[in-house]
Each structure stands twice: as structure tokens, then as C-alpha cells.
Amino acid sequence: MAVHRRRPGLAMLALATVLTVPLALLPIARAVAFEPGCACEPVVASPVPGIEVLLEEHLDLLRGKRVGLVTNPTGVDRRLRSTVDLLAQHPDVQLVALFGPEHGVRGDAQAGAHVGPARDRATGLPVHSLYGEHREPTPAMLEGIEVLVFDLQDVGARFYTYPYTLAGVLRAARRAGIPVIVPDRPNPVGGLGVEGPVLEPEYASFVGMFPVPIRHGMTLGELARLFNQEFGIGAQLQVVPMRGWTRAQAEPGRVLPWVMPSPNMPTPDTARVYPGTALLEGTNISEGRGSTRPFEIVGAPFVDADALAARMNALHLPGVQFRPLWFTPTFSKHAGQLCGGVQLHVTDREAFAPVRTGLALIKTIHDVYPDQFRFLEGDAVNQGRPFFDLLAGNAWIRQAILDGQPLESIEARWQPELRRFEELRRRYLLY
């Protein structure tokens, strides 16, 4: 790997403000005409991810500085070139260290798996794990680093861990006096929908650290601004906005190449249902890990697939239909056992309410199989708190399901806090 000398005489830019782009002037992604005889979908102009904007328009933020990079396989440009390679091979950038979140820099670790320090095979750079012994960079990891770049794809749900890795990076960087640059990327489930309960502080964990709803409708760059300002982190933060992305735009797999953010997030359709069906991780119902469609397929050995599908379709939930199926997970819950269940088919992405749908599934299975269904008990790792409560961000939803309360009353209870969050969120939107 080439080592690039630091250029003398370049002053450190003040990084306390967010890069702003006149968003009204940004190009809007537009569909172009079909090719003659083509029965495929129209080609859509891709938004330009923040990493490309950073290297094309704001290289002075990196030039002459020793750079640390937090990334994973989703850190790519529109041509699928890795951010690691883009920075390591750039003649004006001195990349000196890599940092990996859950699943690792190269995405080779399963959910929850401990990730240790290593050396990157392609570049020879040291790789510091932020999902092992340490959840945020230590002073030793940051020694000699002058700026941190955080570039990876979030999935738009509160309980995905990448935003909290970002929070840890911001805290560590503030203590070290190092600026943090976040090249922004799309929210996979769009930027308009906001849904679900706001997390209560006593249920804070690494699957939900701050009081935001399950589906927050913000990009990672917008979340960085929110965390940094509202929750007292106070790092030197710059967000580099995308060009050409709008809040109503389709998920990135339909306007940008889809790279799996984690091993069980294979498609944009997975991300679409994840804010709801991931709640099943706090129960004894399989959320589809070990199947070909994780989070889209759910079930258990004691579930009658046809009966469950009929009950779910009778609820007339917006934008989704349920198909009965049987599957045998290869790992995780009920591995090697035949499970009855359903597959979620999203028929209207705009109308679909993933959190409502996930809770409806849990409530229905609980009501039909009260003797077999159960919420998983808390353990020492979670300080005795049931994992479902950490995912939901409270204990009252679990209790409401156990008490047989209707879904409508559960949804009504979270609305006041959700409305307050929506007001807060407006201050930090970039698109």
C-alpha cells in the first residue's frame, strides 16, 4: 500500500458545522423512457452517495491528514468500489486505520458475534473492532489519527446497531479532539414514514440508545446531527449530504446497488419489513434467520400455517398480504425443525406499516397459541430486562399483549411521544 506524505502548511478546517448544499438545486432522480421492446422497470438516475460528494467536492477535509475509516461492505460508491479502496488508493489521502461495526469491516461475522482486532487482508491496515471488547474507539486506537470518516449503510430501524456505533465514535472523537465526517446514504425504508413507540430511557441498550421511535425516517447523517446536538455528545461533526436523494425516494436497492448491510439483510424487501418483524427476536417465534428470506418469513413448529395466514389476512393490514408456508431454519431458533408460518408480501410500500404489522403478528400468535408462545426472559447481559422490551423500548407493549389489549389501543398510547419526536426531528433533516 502506498504511503502518502502529509502536505505541510494546510490548516485544520473548523468542523463544528454541517456541510450544507442548496438542496432545492440538487438534481432529482427521474425515470427515463423504456428501451424499445423492454419489459423491465424504467432506469432511475442514482443519487450520489456522500462518499462521492466528499471526494469530488470536499477533499480538503481529508487532504494532508491521517484518516481513520469506520465502514463495512456497504461503504461503496455507485460503481461498487469500496470506500476502503477509494481512500487507500487516493493520492491525496493517507488512510491509516480501519474500524468495524457489528459484522465486521468485511461483513464476515453473524449477528451478535464477537468481532476481534485484525489486519485487513487487502490493505494491510489495522482493523479495530467496535463490536467486541470495545463498543467505541479507545485512545490507543485513535492515536495518530487526525480525522475519522464514518461511511456505511443504515437500515432505518432504531434497533439496528450501526447508529450506536456512530454515537460511540462521536463520543470518543470528542474526547480526543478529532473531527468526524459522515458521508450520508439513503434511508432504506424512505424518509417520510415515522412509526412506533419512542424508546424510554430505562430501556436504553445497544439496540436502542436514545429516545427515537422504531421507524425514525432519518438518514444516518441526520441521526448523527440529532444525537450530537440533542443528546449532549458535542463532537466536531460534519455531515456530507448526498446529491439527488429525496425523502420519498425508493429504497437504495432500487436507486443504488444493494449491498447487504448484514448477513440477514439480503434485499431491500428485507429492510422494508425489518422494523416490525425484528420484534419477533424477543419471542420464541422464528424471525426467519436460517431461511432464504429472513424477517419476511416467520413461524414456529407449533404454528398452523394456513390458519395463521387466514387470521392475518382477515385483519386487512395496509399494504401487505400473508402467504402460508413451511420452512426449516438451518440455524438460530428451531434449527432443523419444520416450522409453520407465513411470508409477508408487501403490496404497497407507501401504505405498509411495518411496526403495526409486526405487533399484529406477535399478538395474533400469542392469542391463538397462548400455551406455546412466549416472550424470551431477560438475562444477565440485558440486566434482567426481556429482549423484547429492549427492542420495543418499553415494557408496557409486552404487558398489553399479555393482557389481551387491542392493537388499536397499543398504537394510540405511543402517538403523543411520536408526535413530539416528529417536531424534534424536523430540526435535523437535510433533504
pLDDT in tens, 16-43: 444 443 333 333 333 333 333 344 444 4
Least Cα distance to 280 among 307, 300, 306 occurs for 300
One-letter amino acid for residue 141 of the chain: M
For β-strands 195-198 and 213-215, DSSP reports them as: antiparallel
What is the pLDDT at residue 105? 87
The set of residues, in sequence order, having a beta carbon less than 8 Å from that of 386 and lying 6+ positions away, is 282, 375, 376, 377, 378, 395, 398
| Percent of the chain that is helix, strand, coil (3-state, to 5) | 30, 15, 55
Parts of the chain with a pLDDT under 70: 1-45, 107-116, 250-255
What is the pLDDT at residue 250? 63
Cα–Cα dist 322/307, whole Å: 11
Cα–Cα dist 265/189, whole Å: 13
pLDDT in tens, 294-308: 999 999 999 999 999
If you write DSSP's letter for every residue of 95-149 in order, what string do you get? EEEEEE-TT-TTS-S-TT-----EE-TTT--EEEESSSS-SS--HHHHTT--EEE
Cα–Cα dist 340/338, whole Å: 7
For residues 16 and 228, the answer to whether their CB atoms sit within 8 Å is no
Cα distances from 332 to residues 275, 290, 386, 417, in angstroms, run 19, 6, 18, 34
What is the pLDDT at residue 256? 83
For residues 327 and 302, the answer to whether their CB atoms sit within 8 Å is no
Least Cα distance to 224 among 214, 210, 213 occurs for 210
What is the pLDDT at residue 115? 65
The set of residues, in sequence order, having a beta carbon less than 8 Å from that of 56 and lying 6+ positions away, is none
For residues 329 and 341, the answer to whether their CB atoms sit within 8 Å is no
Domains of the chain: 23-255 (3.40.50.12170), 268-394 (3.90.1150.140)
The owner of cell 430511557 is 201
The owner of cell 491525496 is 92
What is the pLDDT at residue 155? 96
What is the pLDDT at residue 248? 87
